[in-house]
Amino acid sequence: MKVFIIYDSKYGNTKNVAERILEGIKQVEGIEVEISYATEVDPKIITSYDALIIGAPNHMASPSLTMKKFVDKLDELNLNAKNVAVFGTYSGRARVTDRAVKKMEKIVGKTLPNLNLLQPSLSVKVKGVTGPVAGGELPKCLDFGKRIGNKLKNPKI
Ligand SMILES: Cc1cc2nc3c(=O)[nH]c(=O)nc-3n(C[C@H](O)[C@H](O)[C@H](O)COP(=O)(O)O)c2cc1C
């Protein structure tokens, strides 16, 4: 099983979250994980991966433009990875602002019609626009990663 985590991050918080998710996935034996900033990866590389974890900061109640552009390119590839999970960071009120990850789910779903969402999407609160990640949020990221790893290993759970 090979997993690719792709993120966008302006101030480093979504990167931090991505790295905690990676740590969580690595706690599950037998799963290989790669991580990259969205603009530094050739989307063609990810065709050989079994799962894709996509994360972006909330910009104006939507996933960041960089990530939307990346996801738009995915339909040109015949992706192996129909297993996807989505995460995002936000700094406003949760009830309103975690809509950005829901939007990302929708965009990814349109691009990859046979999508299997591995986990409900994760929204992570940061303090103000520049962060850091709010207290108590990082353990959730580790747990999210672990649940993704376990799900890939045992799809029936
Ligand atoms: C241009 C811009 C627009 C933003 N719009 C929102 C927003 O609509 N709702 C919100 O909760 N946070 C918003 N934020 C705060 C970001 O979500 C926050 O900067 C981000 O989660 C930090 O992640 P990063 O360090 O990975 O960039 C905005 C930030 C920027 C720079």
Model pTM? 0.95
- Identify the CA nearest to 70 among candidates 104, 34, 99: 104
Cα 16 to middle of ligand 1, angstroms: 15
Cβ neighbours, 10 Å, residue 61: 13
Cα 28 to middle of ligand 1, angstroms: 31
**E strand or H helix at 123:** strand 122-125
Q: Whose CA is nearest to atom 15 of ligand 1?
A: 129
Residue to substitute in 7, 8, 10, 99 for testing ligand 1 pocket (most ligand atoms within 8 angstroms of CB)? 10
Q: Is the CB of 88 under 6 A from ligand 1?
A: no
Cα angle 121, 127, 133; round to 5: 55
Enumerate the β-bridge partners of residue 33. Answer: 3
Domains of the chain as residue ranges with CATH: 2-153 (3.40.50.360)
Overall residue count recorded for the chain in this entry: 157
Atom nearest to 62 CA in ligand 1: 8
Q: What pLDDT is stored for residue 45 in this prediction?
A: 87
Is residue 8 within 8 Å of 36, Cβ to Cβ?
A: no
pLDDT in tens, the chain (157 residues): 999 999 999 999 999 999 999 999 999 999 999 999 999 998 888 888 999 999 999 999 999 999 999 998 888 887 766 899 999 999 987 666 678 999 999 999 988 878 899 999 999 999 999 999 999 999 999 999 999 999 999 888 7
Alpha carbons 3 and 33: distance in angstroms, whole number: 5
